[in-house]
Structure 1
Amino acid sequence: MRFSSQRQATGASFDRQMEAIHEWKDDHQEVEISGHSFEDLGLSGFKGEYLDNAFGRLLLAIKRRKIVSGDYILFEVVDRLGRLKKMDMVDILKQIVDAGVTIVTLDDRNEYNLEKLNNDQGLLASLVGKFEQAYNYSKVLSERIKHSWKRRKKIAKEGGFVKMRTPFWLDKEYKVIPEYASIIESIFEWYLLGDGQRLIHRRLTKNWPEIFGDGFRDEFLLKIKGNKSKIVNCGTIKKWLANKAVIGFWGDIPGVYEPVISEGLFYKVQNALREN
């Protein structure tokens, strides 16, 4: 299970993928659903973030023979495997099929395993073509976003108004929301005391169950007042720790937001991140 955008967390993507899994299972009664499942919710397949999260654990499970020859891994569509460059995707594909594992894409019911890919060059060429198409689409989209970012930065530096998506701890006037300020400060202080992202993740659900109560295994929904919920995982926490918005920056422009922590605390954590 994977989707790229945090905005998809409250959409139909998760339910649609789950429904497709159950439909496939209904047609394959001889297959038993594993106790292992992997969810990268709100992580980019183009930037490779998912490789450091659930998908990375999936590959590790194959390497450690928790997922073995004869097993199936189900994906909604090919690009749920990722949107990296085609040769990077071929390397990931090889890690899976060399272990005797079959990849199933649920949108077209295609199955990819070592035997089929070796015996059907057209199948392999088609799959590589899909990898390339997914990468090119994401590359074009990324360039558009970069262009928009540069244009807005220019306007902001010239003192003009720029519509921006604010971090969850800021309101629409770019002011700190008090009930969220203590959360951010605690995250930074915990990390400085030596707590890792997984321990911080657990502490958030324990200390603020009303805000971080609902969860999926390694992820949970942050319930933001007046806004859509946001998927939070260990990768999200790492991003918060490195986000200069906590000391008022928008990109490299200072003084845009109200700071939520002191610069001293922020830069101490940056040093700790580098050391770790």
Structure 2
Amino acid sequence: MVKKPTAYAYSRISTRAQLKGDGLRRQLAAALEWAEEHPDIEFDPTFVDRGISASVGLHRETGKLGVLLNMIEAGTIRSGDYLLVDEFSRLTREIESEALHLLTSIIRKGVNVVTLVDGEVYHKHSTSLELMRALFTMSNSHNENKERTRKVAKAWAEKREEARLTGKKLSRRGPAWTVFNERTKHFDLIGDRADIIRGIFAECIDGLGITAIAQRLNANKVEPFVAGSDGWHQGYVLTILRSPSVMGFYQPTLTSQRAHKRMLRQPDGDPIPNYYPKVVDEETFDRAQAMIALRNKRGGGAGRRGKRFPNLIMGMGKCEACGGTLVVTNHPNSARVRSFRCYQANRKQNCDNRQTYLCSDVEEWLTVFLMEARMEAAQPLPDQTDLTHKLSARRAIQVKIDNLNDTIEAAERGEDVSSTRIRLAERQAEASKLDKLIEDLRTMLKHQTRMVGVDAVEEAAKWMDSLRDEDTEDIYRNRAKANAILLALYDTIMPVEGGLYILSNGKGWFVNDEIYAELDVEDRRPITRKELEMSATWTKTTMI
């Protein structure tokens, strides 16, 4: 018995908003009417794409049309079967060459394409005139879509410009911590959500990572902002911390769909200030960005660190033998006694330092150091020092450039000044490089949070002292805060047998139970103890 052919109806709407309209029902009704007129053909109406554009072929890659095409290629949809579409615009709105290729790839397999709006049937024996008519129709669909896209883009551009000039809101949709006020036509803060965001920023600045923040929110049963979410996730916490919307900014964007890729969003002009109500100020936002960058730079962004943040010198602790990272390990005979040990030596790779350093000793020496340290004046930040040097070098090069220009201008007509011009070009290239470095350093300084001076050390000492109370319920947060302050102050903390070296921007200290010493270090950041002691000059020693 010969199996009857099957007609597969394909329906599509471009946006989710069109679900509220009549488009899908109308397309399916037309397909059903065709099926009733052809009772000798089986009918399958199950292939529907909702909210997928046909302008760049997304429906062929990720939608039900892609499933249909694969079935045709595999022979599941057989020669003699039918593909029903309301009109060609439902099948494709791509450029003419892609549209014609799609149609011919179907009909070459013997599958008939029916456009229900006019009852036309296209098959592998269609004439050139019929295919030209199909191409003309698909071209109209493509051009119609292109013109509609242009008009929509123009309308949104006018709305964005109006928003910049008058503050008028582009839509009622805002961040999850706001609600649109229909009376004032502005956004209002949702009070409890704004408090949650301020808490997230405070914990970030205090040194907690995004994993720890998300865990604390979940542990405290804080309702997530995203409806239907199974709790707070670190990715969403980071999104909040990175979003300029918390400062009231709105960044207009241009979007474009790309086959095989996520929708591309590109900034369209500068952000619009005061578009949303402000949750945190710019200083708080910048401090949070600097802390995130500092954690990532120093290796502090890899998740929550135990129940009590055991590695207080995370990001700074270095092995005296190889300069590698120190990690916390349990003592062989006690789970409560912990020690620092070289990570590389622990994995028997590129270091043979088997020495361990009790965490309790290191923290005690660190506390003694902070209590003894007295900085007479604020030390210049590394980036400020670099910037000063670069500005000085830039001024010197500008003098040379001016002199070379004077030489060229003063030269007599006809005199060969080619070598002078070469030197001038070289100096101008050097100046351009310095200008870029100066710009980068100024940008870094804008987000710099490193604390200096007596107040900074006293702040660190206060937090270290608070860690003596092991019974506090917030021991993790206190230790994370202490780590964050230490990260902002010091580059390297290197335990050695009988003491502790501490380094920061060319200065160094050594401390143990008996002495507190200050050092000048020639090498800005020595790698090992041997390199440190070879480059260091002991300038002052105080008995404790």
Select which of 196, 212, 225 maps to 1:181: 225
Q: How has the CA–CA distance of structure 1 residues 81 and 191 changed in structure 2, closer, same or farther, with 3 Å as cutoff?
A: farther
**Number of the residue aligned with 1:37:** 46
Alignment partner of 1:156 is 2:163: yes
What's the offset of the Cα at 1:48?
2.9
Q: CA deviation at 1:103?
A: 0.6
* Residue 71 of structure 2: aligned partner: 61
Q: Is 1:11 matched with 2:21?
A: yes
Q: Deviations over 1:66-92 (max 9, x none)?
A: 212111111011111111111110111
Which amino acid in 1 is paired with 2:271?
A: I
- 1:158 & 1:71 partners in 2: Cα distance? 58
Q: How does 1:14-29 map to 2 (within 5 A)?
A: 14-29=24-39
* Partner-residue secondary structure (3-state), 2:38: coil
Query: 1:50 is matched with which residue?
Result: 59
Report if the CA contact (8 A) 2:94-2:142 is conserved: yes
**Cα RMSD between the aligned structures?**
3.8
Q: Is the 8 A contact 2:163 2:170 kept in 1?
A: no
Q: Which has the higher contact order (CA 8 A, sep 6+)?
A: 1
Deviations 1:164-218 (A, max 9, x none): 25279674345688888233765994999xxxxxxxxxxxxxxxxxxxxxxxxxx
In 2, the alpha carbon distance for the partners of 1:251 and 1:175 equals: 25
**Partner SS for 1:172:** strand
Q: Is the 8 A contact 1:75 1:105 kept in 2?
A: yes
Distance (whole Å) between structure 1 residues aligned to residue 46 and residue 28 of structure 2 = 11
Contact 1:250 1:257 in 2 (8 A): no
Q: Does the CA contact (< 8 Å) of 1:6 and 1:41 recur in 2? A: yes
Residues 40, 53 of structure 1: 8 Å contact kept = no
- Residue in structure 1 matched with residue 116 of structure 2 by the alignment: 106
Identify the match of residue 173 of structure 2 among 155, 166, 181.
166
Where in structure 2 are the equivalents of 1:101-250 lying within 5 Å? 101-115=111-125, 117=126, 120-164=127-171, 166=173, 171-173=179-181, 174=187, 181-183=225-227, 189=233
Question: Which consecutive residues of structure 1, in runs of 5 or more, have no partner in the other structure?
Answer: 193-234, 265-276
Higher helix share: 1
Higher CA-based Rg: 2
- Contact 2:72-2:106 within 8 A present in 1 as well: yes
Identity %: 24
SS at match of 2:271: coil
Matches within 5 A, 1:90-105: 90-105=100-115
Calculate the TM-score normalised by the size of structure 1: 0.63
Aligned pair count?
Answer: 210
1:38 Cα deviation (Å)?
1.7
Structure 2 unaligned spans of 5+: 1-10, 182-186, 194-222, 237-258, 279-287, 290-544
1:156 and 1:162 in contact (8 A); partners too: yes
User: Aligned AA for 1:136?
Assistant: N
AA of the residue aligned to 1:161: K
Q: What do residues 21-52 of structure 1 show as CA deviations (whole Å, max 9, x unaligned)?
A: 11101110110123x73211122222433223
Amino acid across the alignment from 2:75? R
Q: Provide Cα deviations, 1:244-271, integer angstroms capped at 9, x if missing partner.
A: 9xxxx99973674579xxx99xxxxxxx
Q: TM-score, normalised by structure 2?
A: 0.34
